[in-house]
Amino acid sequence: MKIDPPSLGSGAARNCKIDINVNAGRWRFWKKQLTPDSKLVLIDSMKTKFVLAGCIALLPFTFVGTASAKDPKIEQALRDLDAQWSNAASAKDVDKVVSFYSDDAIVLPANAPIATTKAAIRNLWSGLLTSPGVNMNWKTTKVEVSKSGDMAYASGTYELTMNDPSGKPVNDRGKYLVVWEKQTDGKWKCGADIWNSDLPASAPPAAEKK
């Protein structure tokens, strides 16, 4: 979002102080007390991925108070559902894997663009599960259900093996976070899915000397 500072010729501009601080390439604009009733406003330009990461980090606040309203039946049902989902991936059943997503789900895979349509999600999983030597599974380690009982998030770990271009098996492991949403028909569907590797990123190949 772009904020244009007030004209230096305006009366409001003469009564405000603007402090511009450059930090790591980001501009922060502070406006202070234009009127007795105004409050301090902070405007921070951030990249989309940091905004998304912030939203995911705030998920636990959505589930404040879940302990008193915790339903072990819902938690177990979601653990079972996630296990069925993992089994479908292990069986390389693309149709079954995609069926766990809601119609408006989003998927944020590692090292790939966000998938925001069912077609894009299908292409993502089809490409992954048809890769040579692929074997994938995951396991839920934590489930939190919202106080309203119609939303939950699950986190866990995954293991993935696939062949590199030379045919050599490559092993990966990491973690994931899934947001489950209860549909109008009572079924639970995944509304958001994100995962990334625990392994360090590979170093780029060294440039050839001429």
pLDDT at position 116 is: 97
Q: Report how far apart, in Å, the C-alpha atoms of 175 and of each of 30, 110, 142 are.
A: 38, 11, 12
Neighbours of 188 (CB within 10 A): 19
The pLDDT value given to residue 111: 87
DSSP letter string, 157-187: EEEEEEE-TTS-EEEEEEEEEEEEEE-TTS-
What pLDDT does residue 168 have? Answer: 94
Element (H or E) spanning 26, and its range? strand 26-31
| Domains defined for the chain, CATH in brackets | 16-57 (no CATH), 65-197 (3.10.450.50)
Q: What is the pLDDT of residue 30?
A: 34
**Distance in angstroms (rounded) separating the CA atoms of residues 103 and 116:** 9
pLDDT recorded at residue 79: 97
Provide the residue type at 56 as one letter.
I
What is the rounded CA–CA span in Å between residue 136 and residue 173? 10
Residue 125 backbone phi and psi in degrees, to 5: -70, -35
pLDDT at 209: 55
Say how far apart CA 63 and CA 151 lie, in whole Å.
9
Identify the pLDDT of residue 201: 78
State both tokens at 54. Answer: 């912030």
What does the pLDDT read at residue 121? 98
Positive or negative, the CA dihedral 47, 52, 53, 57 is positive
* Secondary element (H or E) of residue 61: helix 59-62
β-bridge pairing 101-108 and 188-197: parallel
Low-confidence ranges of the chain (pLDDT < 50): 1-53, 55, 61, 64-68
- How large is the C-alpha radius of gyration of the chain? 23
